[in-house]
Structure formats: C-alpha cells, structure tokens
C-alpha cells in the first residue's frame, strides 16, 4: 500500500482510520473532548487525513494533545479564578470547529487542486495560529502582568486583547510545536532533497502562528469586546489570516 501519497488511496485511508480510532479512544478516556466534540473531531480527522494526508492528522493530533496539557496546567487555579471554559477541562465541538474547521477546508482545497505540498504548509500555518492562541490563552491567563494590545495599558488578566510575557512565550511555543511537526510531514511526503526549503518553511509556520495570535488579540480588543465578533469569529479570521500570509511565503519558496 502507498502510505506516502495524499488523498483517497488505500494506504492513506488505512493509516488515517487507525489514527482516528486512537484519537477517539484517547480523547474519550482522557476527557479531552465531550461526546459531541469526539464526533466532530473524528469527522474533521477523516477530512484532514483522507483528503489531505495522515501526517497532517498527526499534526492536528499534536495540537489537540498539547492543548489539553496546556488547559490542565494549574487547572484548579484557573477554575477558582473563573478562567476555565468547563469544570473538568474538556473542550466541546464548538472548539473543534473553531480551531479545526478552516484547516479542514485547506485539506479539501489540497485534494481538489491535487497539490498536497502547498496544502501541507497552508494547513500547518492554520493549525499553528490555533495552537499559538490556545497556548497564549491557557498559560497567559494566570500572568497578572497583562497589558492591552491596543493601548499597552495594564488590564485585567483574561480580558480579550490582553497580552503578558508568559502568554507571548507560550504563543511562540505553540507555534513552534506545529512548525517542528510540519517538517517531517513535508520530508516524508515530497521528493524535494533541498532541506533548506523545508527548514525555511517550517520557520515561516512558526512566525505565521505567532503573528496570527497577535491578530487574534487585536481583533479581540477591537471587535470581540464590543460585541461585533464572537470568539469563534475571531478565531476564524485569525486562522484565515495565517494561511493567507503563509501563501505568500510559499509563492516565493516553492
């Protein structure tokens, strides 16, 4: 079976199915997602792995597992300060759609254009924005040295548009995780021997992820706090900004 070619082929689908099965079992036992969230993640995983490639699904899985760890970090303290979205740290189908919906559309784009290499980098950039924002929110919310991104004045921790030193470091770490995971996915699934191209694009994924997080904060301050956008809307625009910015890097490097 050919397991290194993307799209609806037997090898790719077999590996994708195995990864999704593992995802369902782990997320259910660890209570990372509620029941609807597990179903949404399985459907998203089938789209990402089946139309994209199973290595993309591993990138998404890396985000899910690390985001869960970030969510559970000092969880009792978050709960006492009212900074947790749920009482046990699980995430809902809404979180899955907000963070994974657009990466899923990138997988569809890759399948329709028969261009999985470009699709990989755009997909990775989209996930990097989601990871960067999630890490910044979950780690930075407990840092009281918070300033508003539009004015740089001190503000309340957890307020949309606020940023902190620990949050910025966490944002970079989240983006870096996805950037690092994107390199072996590229290396395994392309015929390129120029490793410098892969390294450069992986670094671009990290930069785009971090910048997308800043866009998320800016939109939160300007629009979400005033009721013009929901959290999901802010996430969607920020992720769209991320893979559009990545397309410019790809144009010059591939």
Distance between CA 138 and CA 179 in Å, rounded?
20
SS3 193: coil
Distance between CA 144 and CA 6 in Å, rounded?
45
- The candidate with the shortest Cα–Cα distance to 86, out of 65, 60, 68, is 68
Global pTM? Answer: 0.94
Query: How does DSSP assign 58-122, residue by residue?
Result: HHHHHHHHHHHHHHHTTHHHHHHTT--SSSSS-B-HHHHHHHHHHHHHHHHHHHHHT-HHHHHHH
- The candidate with the shortest Cα–Cα distance to 3, out of 80, 39, 57, is 57
Q: Sketch the domain layout of the chain as residue ranges.
A: 10-253
- The candidate with the shortest Cα–Cα distance to 147, out of 73, 209, 214, 212, is 214
pLDDT digits (tens, 9 = 90+) for 135-166: 999 998 888 899 999 999 998 887 899 999 99
Distance between CA 246 and CA 129 in Å, rounded?
11
Go through 229-241 and write b for each residue having 16 or more CB atoms within 10 A of its CB, e for each that does not.
bebeebbbbbbbb
Q: What is the pLDDT along the chain (254 residues), one digit of tens a residue?
A: 789 888 999 999 999 999 999 888 887 777 788 888 889 889 999 999 999 999 999 999 999 889 888 888 888 888 887 776 656 656 777 788 878 889 999 999 999 999 999 999 999 999 999 999 999 999 988 888 999 999 999 988 878 999 999 999 999 999 999 999 999 999 999 877 688 999 999 999 999 999 999 999 999 999 999 999 998 899 999 999 998 999 988 988 76
């Amino acid at each position: 079976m050919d397991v290194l070619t993307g799209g609806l082929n037997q090898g790719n689908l077999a590996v994708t199915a195995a990864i999704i099965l593992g995802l369902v079992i782990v997320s259910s036992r660890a209570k990372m997602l509620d029941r609807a969230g597990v179903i949404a993640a399985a459907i998203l995983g089938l789209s990402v792995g089946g139309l994209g490639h199973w290595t993309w699904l591993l990138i998404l899985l890396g985000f899910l597992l690390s985001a869960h760890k970030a969510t559970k970090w000092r969880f009792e303290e978050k709960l006492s300060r009212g900074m947790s979205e749920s009482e046990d740290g699980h995430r809902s189908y809404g979180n899955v759609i907000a963070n994974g919906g657009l990466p899923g559309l990138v997988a569809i784009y890759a399948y329709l254009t028969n261009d999985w290499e470009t699709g990989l980098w755009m997909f990775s950039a989209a996930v990097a924005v989601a990871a960067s924002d999630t890490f910044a929110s979950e780690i930075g919310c407990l840092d009281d040295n918070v300033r508003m991104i539009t004015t740089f004045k001190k503000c309340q921790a957890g307020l949309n548009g606020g940023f902190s030193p620990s949050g910025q470091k966490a944002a970079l770490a989240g983006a870096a995780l996805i950037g690092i995971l994107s390199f072996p996915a590229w290396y395994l699934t392309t015929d390129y021997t120029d490793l410098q191209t892969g390294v450069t694009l992986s670094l671009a994924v990290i930069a785009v992820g971090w910048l997308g997080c800043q866009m998320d904060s800016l939109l939160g301050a300007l629009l979400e706090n005033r009721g013009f956008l929901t959290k999901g809307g802010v996430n969607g625009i920020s992720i769209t900004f991320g893979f559009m910015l990545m397309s410019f890097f790809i144009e010059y490097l591939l």
